[in-house]
Amino acid sequence: MSESLQTIELELHALWLQAQEGDAACYARALKVISGYLRRFLNRRMQSQPSDVEDLVQETLLAIHQKRHTYQSEQAFTAWMYAIARYKWIDHLRAHGRREALHDDIDDWSEILSVSGDTEAADSQRDLSHMLTLLPDKQRLAIEHTKLQGLSITETATLTGQSEAAVKVNVHRGLKALATQWRVKP
Amino acid sequence: MNTDELIALLAHDAGPARGPKPQQVGGRLALALAVCGVMVLYMGLNPKLSEFASTSVFSLKMVWLFAMVVFSAALVYRMVHPGRQMGNAPWAIGLALLAMGGQGMSQLLQAPLEQRSALALGTSWQVCTLNIAFIALPVLAALMWTLRDMAPTRPALTGAMAGLCAGALAAMLYSLHCTENSFTFYALWYSGGMGLSALVGAVLGARFLRW
Q: What is the CATH number of the domain that holds A19?
A: 1.10.1740.10
What is residue B72's predicted lDDT score, i.e. its pLDDT?
97
Residue A128: its chain B contacts at CB < 8 A?
1, 5
How many domains does the structure of chain A reveal? 2
Q: Of all residues in chain A, what percent carry a pLDDT higher than 70?
A: 81
* CB atoms B83 and A83 under 8 Å: yes
Query: E strands within chain A?
Result: none
What is residue A183's predicted lDDT score, i.e. its pLDDT?
67
Distance, CA of B50 to CA of B106 (rounded, Å): 27
* CB atoms B82 and A91 under 8 Å: no
> What does the mean pLDDT of chain A come to?
79
Mean pLDDT of B111-140: 93
Q: Are residues A132 and A96 in the same domain?
A: no
Q: Which of A88, A113, A138 is the last residue of a domain?
A: A113
What is residue B131's predicted lDDT score, i.e. its pLDDT?
96
Pick from A21, A61, A91: CB nearest B10: A61
Distance, CA of B126 to CA of A67 (rounded, Å): 43
User: Is the pTM for the entire model greater than 0.90?
Assistant: no
The reply to whether A134 falls in a domain is yes
Q: What is the DSSP letter of A123?
A: B
Q: Are residues A102 and A135 in the same domain?
A: no
CATH number at residue A135: 1.10.10.10
* CB atoms A67 and B12 under 8 Å: no
Distance, CA of B72 to CA of B93 (rounded, Å): 7
Q: Are residues A30 and A90 in the same domain?
A: yes
The lowest-confidence range among A1-5, A179-183, B10-14, B195-199 is A1-5
Is the per-residue pLDDT at A114 higher than 60?
no
Q: Is B84 on the interface with A (CB under 8 A)?
A: yes
What is residue B102's predicted lDDT score, i.e. its pLDDT?
96
Is the per-residue pLDDT at A50 higher than 70?
yes
What is residue B3's predicted lDDT score, i.e. its pLDDT?
87
Q: Are residues A27 and A106 in the same domain?
A: yes
The lowest-confidence range among A142-151, A163-172, B11-20 is A142-151
Residue among B192, B182, B68 at smallest CA distance from B133: B192
What is residue A113's predicted lDDT score, i.e. its pLDDT?
43
The reply to whether A123 falls in a domain is no
What is residue A112's predicted lDDT score, i.e. its pLDDT?
42
Residue B2: its chain A contacts at CB < 8 A?
121-124
Q: What are the phi and psi torsion angles at A123 (to 5°)?
A: -90, 145
The Cα of A108 is separated from the nearest Cα of chain B by a number of Å equal to 23
The Cα of A122 is separated from the nearest Cα of chain B by a number of Å equal to 5
Rounded to 5 degrees, what angle do the CA atoms A6, A104, A120 make?
Answer: 60
- Closest chain A residue by Cα to residue B13: A172
Mean pLDDT of B44-68: 94
pLDDT tens string B142-181: 999 999 999 999 999 999 999 999 999 999 999 999 999 9
What is residue A120's predicted lDDT score, i.e. its pLDDT?
67
Q: Of all residues in chain B, what percent carry a pLDDT higher than 70?
A: 100
Is the per-residue pLDDT at B84 higher than 90?
yes
Which residues are CB-contacts of A92 (< 8 A; sequence separation ≥ 6)? A46, A52, A56
Pick from B7, B19, B150: CB nearest A61: B7
Cα dist. B167→A18, A107, B27 in Å?
Answer: 41, 42, 19
Is the per-residue pLDDT at A142 higher than 90?
no
* CB atoms B12 and A147 under 8 Å: yes
Domain span at residue A63 reads 5-113
Distance, CA of B46 to CA of B167 (rounded, Å): 20
Distance, CA of A173 to CA of A180 (rounded, Å): 11
Q: What is the ipTM of this complex?
A: 0.89
What is residue B180's predicted lDDT score, i.e. its pLDDT?
92
Distance, CA of B194 to CA of B131 (rounded, Å): 10
Strand partners, A123: B2
Distance, CA of A65 to CA of A4 (rounded, Å): 24
Q: Where are the domains of chain B?
A: 48-208
Is the per-residue pLDDT at A166 higher than 60?
yes
What is residue A99's predicted lDDT score, i.e. its pLDDT?
54
The reply to whether A30 falls in a domain is yes
Q: Are residues A71 and A145 in the same domain?
A: no
Mean pLDDT of A181-186: 62
Q: Are residues A105 and A135 in the same domain?
A: no
Mean pLDDT of B112-135: 93
Q: Are residues A132 and A109 in the same domain?
A: no
Q: Which pLDDT band, with edges at 50, 70 and 90, does B2 fall under?
A: confident
Is the per-residue pLDDT at B19 higher than 90?
no
The reply to whether A10 falls in a domain is yes
- Closest chain B residue by Cα to residue A26: B11
Alpha helices in B48-112 (DSSP H): 49-53, 56-79, 89-110
Q: Is B48 on the interface with A (CB under 8 A)?
A: no
What is residue A38's predicted lDDT score, i.e. its pLDDT?
93
Cβ pair A84, A59 in contact under 8 A: no
Q: What are the phi and psi torsion angles at B148 (to 5°)?
A: -60, -30
Q: Which of A86, A113, A140 is the last residue of a domain?
A: A113
Rounded to 5 degrees, what angle do the CA atoms B16, B2, B10 make?
Answer: 10
